[in-house]
Homo-oligomer: A and B are copies of this chain.
Amino acid sequence: MAQTARPTYAVIAKTAGVSEATVSRVLNGDDSVHPDRAKRVQDAVEKLGYKKNRVASALASGRTGLIAVVIDDDLSIFQDPFWGSVTAGVSRVLMENELQSLLMVSPVDSVDGAVAHYLQSGEVDGAIFFALHSDALVKRLAKQGLPIVITGTPPSNDDFIFVDTDNFGGGLAATKHLFSRGCQKVGIITGDTGLTDAKQRLDGYHQAYREGGHLPSKTLVANGDYSFESGKRAMRQLLDSHPGIDGVFASNDLMAMGAIAVIQELGKTVPEHIKVVGFDDSLIAQTARPGLTSVRQDVVALGEAAANLMIAQLAGIEVEPKILPTELVVRESA
């Protein structure tokens, strides 16, 4: 609050012997100023340690330099390292481009409240949404002309700009890998299939069955919700209906760990009896014993891509949704 009074344009203008308009031009890179005078302004800025007041600047120009990063606040945020990494990627790229990220962790049910309010208060130049459950709000904002990028494939594909991991390809690769390891009965533990990514991973799994000419079975599909416990539950269910199951693709590492825990509790071993592949290639996969074979997605890159799409949009460049490739990291579990 009690910031020592900082100089304003008025002061710079006076010391440089020019008008405030000229100061503004110089500081905004307008090249129509004579080099000599520009130099004078820059010297004054230097000498007085001037720092532009971004709030005033924002008010006058209509550009705040702020990008909202909106994350649905269900509890998973607090546990899942995923979003932290994506956010870090976003933030870093934005900063490199003189933009700031406004982090909004907000309860789902208030997405129509506080967040909406904010995004419409003219305080941000754009918004990046994470893991969209519903896109009603996004639609409204887009209609109002707010640049938007969605991380993760949006539920209804209304030509939003989004970035996502190639979930389909990842699911396909994971499942094919299990077949190639000799598995005959490969099950899947899905995430909440209301989420697009979980759905796509499942689709990839199905595709692998089609391509491999194996016989799919509905009871080889067990639903989880990306949590450790749900992975355990789903694995028990799979073992129940298919005692002879010899491969499992879990839609994330956490559930894969749950599955392995159950398998081992029953005295079976991984990968000898049952092979397991996870998704994310998180720290968990890397540190688990046996090491968990997993589909790597580059979450930081995901964030960076989102930020770059935003920047392009702000620059008025036409952009298209972007899908990032995955890579299967083979370890001991399959």
Q: Which residues of A line the B interface, CB within 8 A?
A: 1-4, 6, 51-56, 58-59, 62, 64, 66, 69, 71, 73, 77-81, 83-85, 87-89, 91-92, 95, 100-106, 114, 117-118, 120-123, 125, 144-147, 228, 254, 257-258, 260-261, 264, 283-284, 286-289, 299-300
- Report chain B residues within 8 Å CB of A120: 3, 6, 51
Closest to A101 in B: B103
Assess A80 versus B77: contact at CB under 8 Å? Given A1-B145, A100-B118: no
- From A85, A123, A147, name the one whose CB has the most chain B CB atoms within 10 angstroms: A123
**Distance, CA A122 to CA B1, complexed state (A):** 9
CB <8 Å contact, A88 and B101: no
- Report chain B residues within 8 Å CB of A254: 283, 287
Question: Within the oligomer, what is the number of copies of this chain?
Answer: 2
- Report chain B residues within 8 Å CB of A261: 287, 289
Closest to A66 in B: B102
**Distance, CA A147 to CA B3, complexed state (A):** 11
**Distance, CA A73 to CA B258, complexed state (A):** 32
Closest to A299 in B: B78
- Report chain B residues within 8 Å CB of A125: 1
Minimum distance in angstroms from A52 CB to a CB of chain B: 6
- Report chain B residues within 8 Å CB of A55: 55, 58-59, 64, 122-123
CB <8 Å contact, B53 and A73: no
Closest to A93 in B: B105
- Report chain B residues within 8 Å CB of A51: 117, 120-122
Assess A102 versus B101: contact at CB under 8 Å? Given A84-B87, A92-B73: yes
CB <8 Å contact, A88 and B78: yes
CB <8 Å contact, B287 and A122: no
- Report chain B residues within 8 Å CB of A58: 55, 59
CB <8 Å contact, B85 and A79: yes
Residue pairs across A and B with Cβ atoms less than 8 A apart, 25 shown, are: A1-B62, A1-B125, A3-B120, A3-B122, A3-B145, A4-B144, A51-B122, A55-B55, A55-B59, A56-B59, A73-B92, A77-B85, A81-B81, A87-B87, A87-B103, A95-B114, A100-B104, A102-B102, A228-B286, A254-B283, A260-B289, A261-B289, A283-B284, A284-B284, A284-B287
